[in-house]
């Protein structure tokens, strides 16, 4: 069976690359699933969104991606993000702490953005946000 | 004579202790280069991907985005200069600032008023010492820049650029903010451990040729990888979510920020390389100086001993001859 070559790239480093059976992401327009053979596509990921990559081993890798784009070509899928974290690397305690701090900080745009990032980290880690 | 010897010994001591500082700096800079180079490498996949996405977009979206269009009679040009926070880096800052001066006079010749944005404390002091107006300075991260720093700088520059869109001869346009019509960046390119070259580049308006040039590169690579799929001459037709123009809106500022970030990383690597070289020659010089000084000190000590001996001998002779008179 055909597989997708997935590259997950953050600004500071390449986070993950490998083969996958499916990628599920949410763009600003809505939820979207990519299977092998998908038509070429460029999408902007929703703010604070999470991306799920089903690897060939059958595991679901959940990624919190902030400020990202999704590009599907005939050679595979690349996910570009300003920062991205794989769920297994997310420190739940720290994310909660960050969320609490951001919520206390009030209404300025930076705090709201920080809160959204923390929420998506928690969601990716499978916790309630 | 004795005081001379003491002064020499003091100088030897101080030279040796400064040498310790230099070699410590050299070691630190050496370790930083390796890290900085690794970060430059690590940031490349993203830059490559975003360029690829952009060139795919460029073939589909209408290219009248403000960041892409050349402005008629551009009047003000922002120049972002990347210098270091600390000195001890040899000619690193001097070179970058000299390159900047060249760019500034070129811009003035073209009738554009340059607006300075400075990264790094050294650049800041350079311009404040000369009483030159600086629009904004950013300091405190020159050795280890993070993406957040690049974002801060990028936001400022793009805001100024956007504000410049409606400016006319009389000053600020409808929005009341005096913006800029071009963005330039001056930074130090890291070619190798021995060669770091200050370069000036225009960031905006982005030249579409540049995008196309990247596109060719991509197609060259593609044809190597996917030989056989055939349609290498025809651009792939993409689906877009949201519309191509909205995507371009979101993507271009990020692209500019990515370029600023890449420039900062290169500069950081260059800074450390420059510093290591400067500190290496400084500690070599200190070593040399200490060697010469200790030779002088030995000579002085020898001369002192010789003089003491001849004084004793002279004294003894005088006593002997005085005794002979008895």
> What is the per-residue burial (b if ≥16 Cβ within 10 Å, else e) of A53-74?
bbbeeeeebbbbbbbbbbbbbe
* pLDDT score at B309: 95
Say how far residue A32 (Cα) sits from the centre of its chain. Answer: 13
Range B21-26 average pLDDT: 94
Q: For A67, what's the count of Cα atoms within 13 Å in the CB-facing half-sphere? A: 20
Do A71 and A96 fall into the same domain?
A: no
Q: Is B59 a residue whose pLDDT tops 90?
A: no
Q: Is A62 a residue whose pLDDT tops 50?
A: yes
Do A77 and A96 fall into the same domain?
A: no
- Tell me, yes or no, whether B228 lies in a domain: no
Residue range of the domain that includes B118:
21-207+240-278
Do A26 and A48 fall into the same domain?
A: yes
Question: d(Cα B226, Cα B232) in Å, to the nearest integer?
Answer: 9
Collect all residues of chain B within an 8 Å Cβ-Cβ radius of residue A71.
Answer: 49, 52-53, 56
Q: Is A48 a residue whose pLDDT tops 80?
A: no
- Tell me, yes or no, whether B143 lies in a domain: yes
Q: Is B270 a residue whose pLDDT tops 70?
A: yes
Question: d(Cα B168, Cα B105) in Å, to the nearest integer?
Answer: 22
**3-state secondary structure at position B28:** helix
Token code pair at residue B300 = 């002085």
Question: Residue B250: which of A7, A44, A73 has the nearest Cβ?
Answer: A44
* pLDDT score at B225: 39
pLDDT band at B290 (very low <50, low <70, confident <90, very high): very high
Q: Is B61 a residue whose pLDDT tops 70?
A: no
In 10 A of CB B41, how many CB atoms? Answer: 12
A105-109, B81-85, B230-234: which has the highest mean pLDDT?
B81-85
CB pairs under 8 A between A and B: 87
pLDDT band at B186 (very low <50, low <70, confident <90, very high): very high
Question: d(Cα B23, Cα A68) in Å, to the nearest integer?
Answer: 44
φ/ψ of A26, rounded to 5, equals: -115, 120
* pLDDT score at B205: 82
φ/ψ of A36, rounded to 5, equals: -55, 140
Do A73 and A97 fall into the same domain?
A: no
* Partner-chain contact A67 B240, CB within 8 Å: no
Do A21 and A80 fall into the same domain?
A: yes
pLDDT digits (tens, 9 = 90+) for A70-93: 989 888 899 998 888 887 777 778
The enclosing domain of A16 has a CATH number of 2.60.15.10
Do A37 and A10 fall into the same domain?
A: yes
pLDDT digits (tens, 9 = 90+) for B127-183: 999 999 999 999 999 888 989 899 999 999 988 888 887 776 666 666 667 788 889
Collect all residues of chain B within an 8 Å Cβ-Cβ radius of residue A10.
Answer: 46
For A28, name the nearest residue in chain B, comparing CA atoms only.
B242
At how many degrees (to 10) do helices B244-325 and B147-163 cross? Answer: 120
Do A37 and A80 fall into the same domain?
A: yes
Are B8 and B297 in contact by the 8 Å Cβ rule? The answer is yes
* pLDDT score at B31: 93
* pLDDT score at B236: 61
pLDDT > 90: percent of chain A: 8
* pLDDT score at B127: 94
The full DSSP string for B205-232 is SPPHHHHHHHHHHHHHHHHHHSTTS--T
* Partner-chain contact A74 B236, CB within 8 Å: yes
Residue (of B249, B275, B285) closest to B196 by Cα position:
B275
The enclosing domain of B247 has a CATH number of 3.40.1380.10
* pLDDT score at A82: 85
Do A80 and A101 fall into the same domain?
A: no
Are B52 and A71 in contact by the 8 Å Cβ rule? The answer is yes
* pLDDT score at B33: 93
Count of domains for chain B: 1
Are B213 and B193 in contact by the 8 Å Cβ rule? The answer is no
φ/ψ of B114, rounded to 5, equals: -75, 140
Q: Is B216 a residue whose pLDDT tops 50?
A: no
* Partner-chain contact A73 B236, CB within 8 Å: yes
* pLDDT score at B229: 37
pLDDT digits (tens, 9 = 90+) for B76-94: 899 999 999 998 888 999 9
Angle B14-B16-B20 (CA atoms, 0-180°, nearest 5)?
Answer: 115
Length reported for chain B: 326
- ipTM at complex level: 0.80
* pLDDT score at B323: 79
Q: Is B63 a residue whose pLDDT tops 70?
A: no
Give the range among A3-7, A52-56, B213-217 with minimum mean pLDDT: B213-217
Do A98 and A62 fall into the same domain?
A: no
Do A21 and A82 fall into the same domain?
A: yes
Least Cα separation, residue A128 to chain B (angstroms): 27
Its pTM stands at: 0.82
Count of domains for chain A: 2
- Tell me, yes or no, whether B3 lies in a domain: no
Are B268 and B140 in contact by the 8 Å Cβ rule? The answer is no
The per-residue pLDDT of chain B, averaged, comes to: 84
* pLDDT score at B18: 94
- The radius of gyration of chain A's CA atoms, rounded to the nearest angstrom, is 15
- Tell me, yes or no, whether B170 lies in a domain: yes
Residue range of the domain that includes A22:
4-86
* pLDDT score at B212: 43
Are B32 and B143 in contact by the 8 Å Cβ rule? The answer is yes
Cis amide linkage into residue B205, ω under 30° from 0 = yes
Are B290 and B15 in contact by the 8 Å Cβ rule? The answer is yes
Do A15 and A57 fall into the same domain?
A: yes
Do A68 and A102 fall into the same domain?
A: no
More reliable by pLDDT, B243 or A79: A79
pLDDT > 70: percent of chain A: 97
Note the helical H segments in chain B.
Answer: 2-42, 44-58, 92-109, 121-129, 147-163, 208-225, 244-325
């Amino acid at each position: 069976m055909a597989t997708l070559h997935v590259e997950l790239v953050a600004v500071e480093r390449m986070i993950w690359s490998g083969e996958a059976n499916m990628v599920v992401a949410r763009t600003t327009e809505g939820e979207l699933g990519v299977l092998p053979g998908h038509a070429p596509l460029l999408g902007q990921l929703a703010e604070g969104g999470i991306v799920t990559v089903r690897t060939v081993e059958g595991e679901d890798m959940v990624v919190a991606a902030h400020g990202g784009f999704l590009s599907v070509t005939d050679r595979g899928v690349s996910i570009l993000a300003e920062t991205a974290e794989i769920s297994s690397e997310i420190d739940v305690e720290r994310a909660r702490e960050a969320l609490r701090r951001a919520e206390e900080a009030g209404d300025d745009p930076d705090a709201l953005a920080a809160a959204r990032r923390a929420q998506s980290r928690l969601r990716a880690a499978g916790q309630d946000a | 004579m004795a005081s001379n010897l003491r002064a020499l010994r003091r100088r030897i001591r101080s030279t040796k202790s400064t040498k310790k500082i230099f070699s410590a700096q050299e070691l630190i800079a050496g370790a930083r280069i390796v890290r900085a180079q690794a970060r430059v490498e690590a940031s490349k996949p993203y830059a490559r991907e975003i360029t690829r996405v952009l060139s795919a977009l460029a073939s589909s979206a209408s290219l009248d985005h403000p960041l892409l269009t050349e402005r008629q009679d551009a009047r003000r040009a922002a120049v972002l200069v990347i210098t270091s926070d600390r000195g001890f880096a040899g000619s690193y800052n001097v070179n970058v600032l000299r390159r900047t001066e060249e760019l500034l006079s070129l811009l003035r010749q073209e009738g554009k008023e340059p607006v300075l944005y400075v990264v790094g404390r050294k650049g800041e002091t350079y311009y404040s010492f000369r009483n030159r107006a600086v629009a904004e300075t950013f300091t405190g991260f020159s050795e280890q820049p993070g993406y957040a720093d690049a974002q801060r700088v990028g936001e400022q520059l793009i805001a100024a650029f956007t504000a410049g869109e409606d400016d006319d001869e009389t000053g600020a346009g409808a929005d009341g903010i005096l913006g800029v019509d071009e963005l330039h960046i001056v930074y130090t390119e890291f070619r190798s451990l021995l060669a770091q070259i200050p370069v000036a580049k225009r960031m905006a308006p982005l030249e579409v040729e540049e995008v196309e040039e990247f596109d060719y590169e991509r197609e060259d690579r593609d044809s190597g990888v996917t030989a056989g799929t055939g349609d290498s001459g025809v651009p792939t037709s993409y689906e877009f979510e949201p519309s191509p123009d909205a995507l371009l809106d979101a993507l271009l500022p990020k692209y500019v920020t990515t370029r600023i970030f890449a420039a900062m990383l290169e500069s950081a690597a260059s800074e450390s390389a420059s510093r290591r070289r400067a500190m290496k020659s400084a500690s070599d010089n200190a070593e040399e100086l200490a060697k010469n000084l200790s030779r002088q000190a030995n000579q002085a000590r020898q001369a002192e001993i010789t003089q003491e001996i001849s004084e004793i001998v002279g004294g003894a002779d005088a006593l002997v001859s005085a005794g002979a008179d008895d």
